[in-house]
């Protein structure tokens, strides 16, 4: 996963940053052909593109998430929702102390959503100077999912586009899956998708660009509500 190290500018050029992007990912299985960093990679690239468009700063990713549903697969690392929220709250507090007014949390892992949104809601309703905007970029491509829940054709296609690679696999559907069942209880490969699939970088490009546009639009609206000036 090249890059994804956060903003490359030295601190004098980051002083006074008011809008910051934070990519949120995971370290978990993504089927039998994709790497474990998929969620982090996609969140990073979306955050980097969106931040660049808006003239905002971007942090390094939080590459561990709420991934207990994948614990039966080798080397998956998972945090409890309470630990995840505690860690996020420390990040929020750090940024608030530097005068940041809007943190755009670009989430690449579905398992993080409940904990992230609850944590952000609690923070925002406490009247803090920093406001947190949790975003799920996959919302922009629901029409392309084709029944995919995890590590299927669409996700593989986005990674194929970003990395110039090719992936294929075979999944199984599992309803209901989260949080009632662990992934391996329904899909031995780890792919939760109705049948065989093969990545398509053209589809991946279309999906990635849609996710970036969605993220830019949501961040722009939040900045306008807060009266923050955007450079892009």
- Residue 151 neighbours by CB distance under 10 Å: 30
Which domains can be identified in the chain, with CATH numbers? Answer: 11-141+211-225 (3.40.50.10310)
User: What pLDDT, in 10s, does the model give residues 143-172?
Assistant: 999 888 899 999 999 999 999 999 999 998
> At how many degrees (to 10) do helices 153-163 and 38-54 cross?
60
Q: List helix spans (H) across 75-196.
A: 81-97, 113-124, 153-163
Residue 134 parent element (H or E): strand 131-135
Q: Is the pTM of this model over 0.85?
A: yes
- pLDDT value of residue 177: 61
74: burial class by Cβ within 10 Å (0-12, 13-18, 19+)? Answer: exposed
* pLDDT at site 192: 87
Give the model's pLDDT for residue 176. 63
Average pLDDT, the chain: 94
For residues 42 and 178, the model is more confident at: 42
62-109 tens-digit pLDDT: 999 999 999 999 999 999 999 999 999 999 999 999 999 999 999 999
Residue partners of 48: CB distance under 8 A and separation at least 6 = 3, 4, 21, 23, 58
Supply 141's token pair: 């491509």
Which residue has 């995919």 as its token pair? 148
């Amino acid at each position: 996963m090249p890059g994804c190290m956060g903003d490359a500018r030295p601190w004098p050029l980051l002083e006074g940053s008011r809008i910051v992007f934070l990519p949120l990912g995971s370290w978990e299985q993504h089927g039998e052909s994709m790497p474990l960093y998929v969620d982090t990679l996609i969140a990073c690239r979306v955050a980097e593109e969106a931040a660049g468009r808006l003239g905002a700063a971007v942090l390094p990713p939080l590459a561990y998430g709420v991934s207990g549903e994948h614990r039966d697969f080798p080397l998956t690392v998972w945090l409890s929702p309470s630990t995840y929220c505690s860690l996020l709250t420390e990040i929020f507090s750090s940024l608030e102390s530097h005068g940041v007014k809007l943190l755009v949390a670009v989430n690449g892992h579905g398992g993080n959503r409940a904990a992230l949104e609850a944590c952000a809601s609690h923070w925002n309703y406490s009247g803090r100077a920093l406001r947190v905007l949790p975003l799920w970029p996959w919302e922009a491509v629901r029409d392309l999912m084709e029944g995919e829940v995890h590590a299927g054709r669409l996700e593989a296609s986005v990674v194929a586009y970003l990395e110039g690679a090719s992936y294929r696999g075979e999944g199984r559907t599992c309803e209901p899956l989260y949080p009632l069942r662990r992934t391996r209880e329904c899909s031995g490969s780890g792919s939760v998708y109705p049948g065989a699939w093969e990545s398509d970088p053209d589809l991946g490009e279309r999906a990635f660009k849609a996710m970036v546009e969605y993220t830019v639009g949501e961040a722009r609206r939040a900045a306008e509500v807060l009266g923050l000036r955007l450079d892009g």
